[in-house]
Amino acid sequence: MTEKMNDDPALLIRNATLKLEGNTILHDFNWRVERGERWFILGPNGAGKTTLVKMILGMAWPLYGAEVRVLGNRYGACDITEVRKKVAWASPFLSNWTEDSDHRWTTLDVALSGLDSTIGFYRKPLDSEVERALAALDRIGARHLADRYYDRLSSGEQIKALIARALIGHPELMILDETCVYLDLSSREYLLSAVDELAAQKDSPTMIFITQRIEEITASFNKGMILGEGRVQSVGDRSEILTAGNLSAAFGMKIRLHARPDGRFWPVPE
């Protein structure tokens, strides 16, 4: 039976230490995300970002004594498959499945696949499901791509399709995981603008934006965390986290920040 406490935060992690193959990846991790908040998680390669996502999705488990609650459901006392239906994960690494398929999927197919949580869409959709998929594409500014083959889209357009795939299930929590990692400058800016538009919508889910690049963090994400070697180095409001001192410590080099009028920062190594 799934626990539900509507007044619970979107995410609550307490005393979580997680090991993989004998190596400690996360150390005594604690984090609370309230419903409707917009968080960024910043850290270099090896900081533990991917492992944290796996823990949130119930794909990796912390040592005994930890507490992980997602949308009011305590892991170990709920049906994780049901919880996952309310958590959207968008990552460019999901694109790899197209390389292993003999079928060519349209952008609409990719969005529809979010209904069944499948790799590809393998049945005839109902008219109502097609409308849901088109509405999800519309929310991310990609409705015009519906009939185009996914493998012919630009990297930025593919990511938008994957975000629509995540949105079709009306998630309560959305994790944007390194969504800009393969994008060129113009595609990245195009996508970040679409993410900002999504975040500004009244019915948008709680959002977590994961990146290793400071300049990708838009003003929509006003709460933040810096991870380093599996430990929380700093956590709090955006203005407290995005400082030259914090970022220099996180990346092991002296960094000066150049502020833009829109609230974003460009790092300048010194």
User: Model confidence over 186-198: pLDDT tens digits?
Assistant: 888 988 998 998 8
**Each residue's pLDDT tens digit, 132-164:** 999 999 988 899 999 999 989 988 888 889 889
Residue type (1 letter), 73:
N
143 alpha carbon, distance to own chain's centre: 21
Q: What are phi and psi of 161, to 5 degrees?
A: -65, -40
56-76: average pLDDT: 94
Mean pLDDT of 105-121: 85
> Could you tell me the pLDDT band of residue 199, with boundaries at 50, 70 and 90?
very high
Residue type, 230: G
Residue range 168-193: mean pLDDT, rounded = 89
Helix orientation angle between 155-167 and 107-116, rounded to the nearest 10 degrees: 30
pLDDT of residue 187: 84
CA distance 244 to 12: 29
User: What is the rounded CA–CA span in Å between residue 184 and residue 187?
Assistant: 5
